A and B are shown apart, each in its own frame.
Chain A
Amino acid sequence: MSEKYILEMQGIVKEFPGVKALNGVQLKVRPGTVHTLMGENGAGKSTLMKCLIGMYAANAGTITYKGRAVKYKSTEEALNDGISMIHQELSPVLERSVSENVWLGREPKKGIFIDYKKMRQDCLELFGKMGVDLNPDEKMKNLTVAKMQMVEIVKAISYNSSIVIMDEPTSALTDSEVEDLFRIIAELKAKDVAVIYISHKMDEIFRISDDISIFRDGTYISTDQACNLTQDEVIKRMVGREITEMFPKQECGIGEVILKVDKLSSGKAVKEVSFELHKGEILGFAGLVGAGRTETMETIFGMRPKTGGAVYINGKEVNIKSPQDAAANKIALLTEDRRGNGILGILSVKFNTVVANLKTYGFPVDSKKMAADTQEYIDRLSIKTPSMDAQIQDLSGGNQQKVLLGRWLLTDPDILIVDEPTRGIDVGAKAEIHRIISDLAKAGKAIIVVSSELPEVMGVSDRVVIMHEGRVTGVLDRCNLSQELIMKYATKEEVESKSMVREGE
């Protein structure tokens, strides 16, 4: 019986202090299939996988892999047994080369020395097999997130894994990179490797999945073949309720210009960027990964040095040199890198909520007001947390993001910049965040939404600025928006340079 499945997990229970993250969850994976795990943030998908590969020890339950019971004590053990996981947050060794990262910890040796030549050749061979175009000698830190992910995948495959787990692999990839990934997944399937896939993107899930298992709040809901499910059905099972509208865009009056950016430059990343933002407007920023959108926002916010141009707020030129200056000018920035420069992981939800607003609590600080403000935003943004004293790192990604949004809303900004606000966040929380953004615009706030997800940018924005390689290549009104048009501007220079080459011939 069990031969039918390569992996069977039964009755898995995982408790953290104060939370039951998994409550008797099951999962059955067939070899040579793509098995997608779906559920809102905090449903327990990542936790289940971490129990499988030995990062967490489950409190109860059995795991049967290739017909035998297993219980890994470390990820290394799981890896050597043929189960590898590509994490949502990559952790490469940035100062080392691509090939060194692939063979990290098991470098081929000649005597006692590392055989760099063999390492390089083996690497190239793997790249050839997977159709990956990468220089094995390139330093990891020079790669884009997408390329780093490719390296991680190659690394996973190099272990001859029978199961490859991918946690949100496409959240940082462009469309063409996603295609590359899917091609690799197809090749894995052909080699009878089972891929366990965690993602929130409906269309890609239905494209590649064979089976879909759905979880909600740490419990198992269902497993079905993808062909027997519809998107609506999946969403319904995930959230336990029906979501009527993904992007509840509200019409609101657009006021005068509040922010004017004029030929703003920062090194090589931002080149003479100009745009205007109005009160009550939601201005979208679209573009490919590396187009300089995040860098533009960081320059406005004083996180990176301005090397040219000017920023005007309410018609007056402002010189913002640090995030403090930005805050003084009532600008808030919800950064793209939640873990790197967003959350204070080991500190409480309460601390994380009030930290950008410390100056308003007086001397000595008013702890009661801090607690009251935190509770207000826990309620208003329906943040799921065991208590306001829980460490924020124990919350799911979506709830962490809501805490960060609360942190900035608490400062009552006039201009709110949100960078990839819903990356790695489930459908339900996504819609909530879109609703919050829309409500804020209605209340007269000026909002910039940077997003790599076209449906999101198109859904929430009044206008969309499109960037390519540090420059603004187009600005479109809501009524003129189409995916094709945005992509045309987002790849503008490539189109031009290609046609120039052709003319040259």
Chain B
Amino acid sequence: MSIQRKKFLSDNMIWLVLIALVIIMSIANRNFATVSNLTTLLTGEAIKGIMAFGVAFAILTKGIDLSLGAVAALVGAVSGALVQPTDFAMRTLSSGVRLPAPAAILIGLLLGAAIGGCIGAIIAYTEIPAFIATLGAQLICRAAAKMFSNRPVSKLSDDYRFLGSGRVLGIPMIVIVFIIIAVISWFILVHTRFGKSLYAIGANSQAARVAGINVNANLIKVYVWCSLMAALGGVLLAGRSGSSDPSTSGLNYELDAIAAATVGGTSHTGGVCSVTGVIAGILILGVINNGLVLMGVDDNMTNILKGIIIIGSVVLDMRKNIKKV
């Protein structure tokens, strides 16, 4: 009985932590548990959350993606530049193209996928650590975004902004997109051969290869997925504020995304990841952010607490997911 209880606790620890946090925050500040505040919370975390689903796939295969924020900036700038008014004096592109929003978004996502394909191919075929490959990609993409436009890409068309700032039935589109991505991520991980292959690669890539899994092809797909999530994040970021500043857009978002995936139990030793866990991770960090701001806690204190939670969650995770020697 005690073993079963222990197992239940360790399997659901993260949700218990989240519930405890929500209760504490609700008691500490009566403005916390209001519809409008919770909407603000979700809207604030949705973009990082989408990127967390991206990077979780990479972490699952013992990788990482540090280029998410920079890819978001590049995609936000490029797709945003395609939807500026033609008569706008501060236009980024001098020629008079103005595409409908879906076309501009599609181009942005394709750009993201292409970047991911390159990163993935480098990681798969040169076998350099993902940390290095994506660190390089981060610098390159951020610089490329700044070269593309040395000032914010602004005055984006209303239809482009719909995804980032529109509402359907009172629910922010950005939250709806987040939920859709969560469902897609869950479906991929649980119900597709691709998802299963990622667990195998993360658990033991040599054994996965011997079992007939095309490790390289799957790794490329992982980073395409990562960059695709970053690109979507970039579109949403630009849409949310109506402009995209290549030098600050998405800055450090990859770190928040990695933190959320990690707190959500995605193991950096590979082979362990659940979408529900990642959702809980996103919400835990979101509740802390939002709740402490409401309580007027100093920003630095908030970050110290977040740091402790991230480290603590990995300590717990390491104890739970030991690869036995």
B203 touches A344 (CB 8 A): yes
A342 touches B325 (CB 8 A): no
A17 to B320, CA, bound (A): 12
Q: Is A364 part of the contact surface with B, judged by Cβ < 8 Å? A: yes
A347 touches B199 (CB 8 A): yes
Q: What is the CB-to-nearest-CB distance from B211 to chain A, in angstroms, rounded to a whole number?
A: 4
Instruction: Write out, one digit per residue, whether chain B residues 238-279 have a CB within 8 A of any chain A CB (1) or not (0).
Output: 000000000000000000000000000000000110000000
Smallest CB gap from B217: residue in A: A324
Q: Is A303 part of the contact surface with B, judged by Cβ < 8 Å? A: yes
Q: Is A396 part of the contact surface with B, judged by Cβ < 8 Å? A: no
A343 touches B191 (CB 8 A): no
- Counting chain B residues whose Cβ lies within 8 A of the other chain, the interface size class is 20 to 34
Smallest CB gap from B324: residue in A: A393
B200 touches A346 (CB 8 A): no
A355 touches B323 (CB 8 A): no
By a CB distance below 8 angstroms, the chain A residues around B272 are: 346
By a CB distance below 8 angstroms, the chain A residues around B199 are: 344, 347, 351
Binds B, one of A170-178, A279-287, A333-341: A333-341
* A residues 89-113 touching B (CB-CB < 8 Å): 89, 91
Q: What is the CB-to-nearest-CB distance from A50 to chain B, in angstroms, rounded to a whole number?
A: 11
A462 to B95, CA, bound (A): 78
* B residues 76-105 touching A (CB-CB < 8 Å): none
Q: Is A15 part of the contact surface with B, judged by Cβ < 8 Å? A: yes
Interchain CB contact (< 8 A) of A341 among B207, B271, B321: B207
Instruction: Write out, one digit per residue, whether chain A residues 384-418 have a CB within 8 A of any chain B CB (1) or not (0).
Output: 00000000011000000000000100010000000
Smallest CB gap from B187: residue in A: A364
A341 touches B209 (CB 8 A): yes
Knowing A358-B193, A363-B192, A365-B193 touch, does A345 contact B204 (C-beta < 8 A)? Answer: yes
Smallest CB gap from B205: residue in A: A341
- Counting chain A residues whose Cβ lies within 8 A of the other chain, the interface size class is 35 or more
By a CB distance below 8 angstroms, the chain B residues around A303 are: 209-210
Q: Is B3 part of the contact surface with A, judged by Cβ < 8 Å? A: yes
Instruction: Write out, one digit per residue, whether chain B residues 195-206 have a CB within 8 A of any chain A CB (1) or not (0).
Output: 011011001101
Interchain CB contact (< 8 A) of A345 among B3, B214, B323: B323
By a CB distance below 8 angstroms, the chain A residues around B214 are: 322, 324
Q: Is A368 part of the contact surface with B, judged by Cβ < 8 Å? A: no
By a CB distance below 8 angstroms, the chain A residues around B197 are: 358
By a CB distance below 8 angstroms, the chain A residues around B191 are: 363-365, 367
Q: Is B7 part of the contact surface with A, judged by Cβ < 8 Å? A: yes
B325 touches A344 (CB 8 A): no
By a CB distance below 8 angstroms, the chain B residues around A345 are: 203-204, 323-324
A15 to B2, CA, bound (A): 12
A327 to B199, CA, bound (A): 20
Q: Is B170 part of the contact surface with A, judged by Cβ < 8 Å? A: no
A347 touches B325 (CB 8 A): no
B200 touches A18 (CB 8 A): no
Q: What is the CB-to-nearest-CB distance from A396 to chain B, in angstroms, rounded to a whole number?
A: 12
A393 to B212, CA, bound (A): 21
The residue among A322, A363, A411 with the most chain B CB atoms within 10 A of its own CB is A322
Q: What is the CB-to-nearest-CB distance from B188 to chain A, in angstroms, rounded to a whole number?
A: 10
Interchain CB contact (< 8 A) of B3 among A15, A359, A393: A15
A326 to B212, CA, bound (A): 8
Instruction: Write out, one digit per residue, whether chain A residues 286-325 have a CB within 8 A of any chain B CB (1) or not (0).
Output: 0000000000000001010000000000000000001110
Interface residues of A (CB under 8 A from B): 15, 17-18, 89, 91, 301, 303, 322-324, 326-327, 333, 335, 340-347, 351, 355-356, 358-359, 361, 363-365, 367, 393-394, 407, 411
What would be 7 A-B contacts, judged by CB atoms less than 8 Å apart? A17-B3, A323-B210, A342-B207, A346-B271, A347-B200, A358-B213, A359-B193
Interface residues of B (CB under 8 A from A): 3, 6-7, 187, 191-193, 196-197, 199-200, 203-204, 206-214, 271-272, 321, 323-325
